[in-house]
Structure 1
Amino acid sequence: MRLVASFANGLREGSRIRMIMSVSNVSTETLLLASIFDKLNILIWQNTKDGRKGANKPVSLAAKFIEVEAKENSFTSGEDFEKRRNELLVEIGGVGNGG
C-alpha cells in the first residue's frame, strides 16, 4: 500500500487518479481559469446598461463547476448514501448488500 500511495502522490494534479482522490471533476488549473473568466466577465458587465442597473448579472462558470461537484458528492438521507455506496461497490467489482 505504501508503494501505491507513493506512486499516486507523485502523479500530476490533472491525472485521473489524483482527480478521483480529490473528488473533483476539474483540475485546479481549470477552476482558476474559470475564476479569471468570471472576474473579467463581471468587469465587462459592469460597463453595460444592465451592469449599471445591477440587472442580468453573468452566471459564474467556476460556481457551476463547484456546484456540480457538490451535487455529486452530497446525500439527502442515509438511504441515498447506502444506495450510492452499493452502486460504487458493484462498479469496482465488490458486492453490495442489496439494501
Structure 2
Amino acid sequence: MAARFPDELTCDMAETYHALDWRALGLPLAATLAAGLRENSRTRMALAGSVSTVDTLLLGAAVDALHLLVWAKTKDGQKGRSRPEPVVNRLLGVPSPRQATGFSCAADYETARARILGEGWRQAAGGLPSSAAAAAPSPEGEGLGGRLKGER
C-alpha cells in the first residue's frame, strides 16, 4: 500500500489521523491505522482501482433513471430519438458511443464493418470475404434471394 500509493496514503493519514509524518509512527501502528481507513479513502480507492465512490455511482444511477423517465415522456422519447447520455458512464470514464463516423470510400466502410461485426459472421454467411461477398452475384440470378422481379 505504502509502496504503490505513497501520496494517497500520506494524504489519508493526515486527513484522518492528523499524522503528517506517518512513517514516524512505526510500522505496526501505521499498518493498523492504514487498515482502518474508510472504504472511500484515496488509498483504498486507488488499491481497488475505483474512480468514484459507491455513493456517487448510486446517485448517478438515480439521476440516470430520472433522466430516462423524463425523456420517455417527450416526443423524442416516444420515437426513440436523442436518448440522454448516462451520467454513470461519465463518472466511470466510459467513452461515449455516440460518435458519428463518416467514410470516404467503400473500403473504409467494409473495414469498419468487419471490425464491428467480427469475422465470424462471414463464415456463417458462406465464407466469402467482404469484398467478394459484396461483388459476387447469387448463383440463381440477380436480386434478393436470387429471384428476378416478377418471378415467383
Both structures adopt the same fold (TM-score exceeding 0.5): yes
Q: Which of the residues 45, 63, 69 maps onto 2:89?
A: 63
> Which region of structure 1 is more displaced relative to structure 2, 58-67 or 33-42?
58-67
Which one has a bigger Cα radius of gyration? 2
- Determine which of 15, 32, 36 is the counterpart of 1:10: 36
SS where residue 51 of structure 2 aligns?
coil
TM-align CA RMSD: 2.2
Partner Cα distance (1:10, 1:21) in 2: 14
Q: Which amino acid aligns with 1:8?
A: A
| Structure 2 unaligned residues grouped into runs of 5+ | 2-26, 95-152
Tell me the TM-score normalized by structure 2: 0.40
Deviations 1:39-64 (A, max 9, x none): 01100000001000000000001022
Q: What's the TM-score, normalizing by structure 1?
A: 0.59
Instruction: Return the alpha-carbon distance in structure 2 between the equivalents of residues 22 and 62 of structure 1.
Output: 18
- Residue in structure 1 matched with residue 74 of structure 2 by the alignment: 48
Partners of 2:31 and 2:80 in 1: CA distance: 50
Cα deviation for residue 11 of structure 1 reads 1.5
Number of residue-to-residue matches in the alignment: 68
Selected match of 2:63 from 37, 50, 55: 37
Runs (4 or more) in structure 1 with deviation over 6 Å come to none
Relative to 1, partners in 2 of residues 1:48 and 1:21: Cα closer, same or farther, differing over 3 Å? same
CA distance in 1, matches of 2:31, 2:63: 35
Identity within the alignment, %: 41
Say which structure is richer in helix: 1
Gaps of 5+ in 1: 69-99
Bigger RCO (CA 8 Å, 6+ sep): 1
